[in-house]
Amino acid sequence: MYPLLVFLLLFVTWVAFSGKFGAFHLGLGALSALIVTVISQDLLFADRGKSLGERLGEGGRFVKYVFWLLWQVVLANVHVFKLAMTKAGEEEIAPRVVKFKTKLKSDFAKFVFANSITLTPGTITIQIKGDRYVVHAISAAVEKDLLTGEMEKRVAAVFEPEVIT
């Protein structure tokens, strides 16, 4: 079941990015997706305990999360713009390294969380060791937003609903 799902995900992605619908291109895409599936299907969906319904629910929640994240990126861009373009913002710039622990358990959820942090202007994930994160933040306001745990809760809501407390 999972190799078929991996093949379909790869093939649909290939078709979407190529935009070619001729028999030659679709055949080439199918062959490429098949080769990659055979080589690496065990890397995607390492946790095989979830049903297809659970995976689809996860996918739907992830799409919702991506829209929330895009809004956070917009807000962070405005904040960094303010820091760069105003005298008050210039005085607010105080780079710091923030260390905190996460409640996330799965490596994939930690990966999504770390990349979400890095995608948000004003923050960069420096290191992850077990459940400890080291993040660079551009200002105290960014540090405060990071430590509220809102992003972590939203990632947990997508991949680990049982973690949310």
Residue linked to tokens 């551009």: 138
User: Does residue 4 have a pLDDT over 60?
Assistant: yes
Mean pLDDT of 21-43: 87
Enclosing H/E stretch for 19: none
User: Does residue 152 have a pLDDT over 90?
Assistant: yes
User: Does residue 46 have a pLDDT over 60?
Assistant: no
Beta bridge partners of 133: 100, 128
Strand order in the sheet with 123-129: 93-101, 132-139, 123-129
Residue 11: phi, psi to the nearest 5? -65, -45
User: Does residue 155 have a pLDDT over 90?
Assistant: yes
Q: Is the pTM higher than 0.85?
A: no
Specify whether the CB–CB gap between 133 and 100 falls below 8 A: yes
Q: Report the candidate in 72, 117, 118, 124 with the shortest Cα–Cα distance to residue 97.
A: 124
Specify whether the CB–CB gap between 125 and 114 falls below 8 A: yes
Helix axes 150-159, 52-85, angle to 10 degrees: 160
What are the tokens at 86? 């105003």
Look at the alpha carbons of 34, 36, 41, 42 in this order and tell me if their dihedral is positive or negative: positive
pLDDT in tens, 65-82: 999 999 999 999 999 999
- CA 147, distance to chain mean position in Å, is 18
Neighbours of 51 (CB within 10 A): 9
User: For 25-29, 37-41, 87-91, 98-102, which range has the lowest pLDDT when averaged over its residues?
Assistant: 37-41
Helix/strand/coil (H/E/C) assignment for every residue in 77-126? HHHHHHHHHCHHHHHHEEEEEEEEECCCCCHHHHHHHHHHHHHCCCEEEE
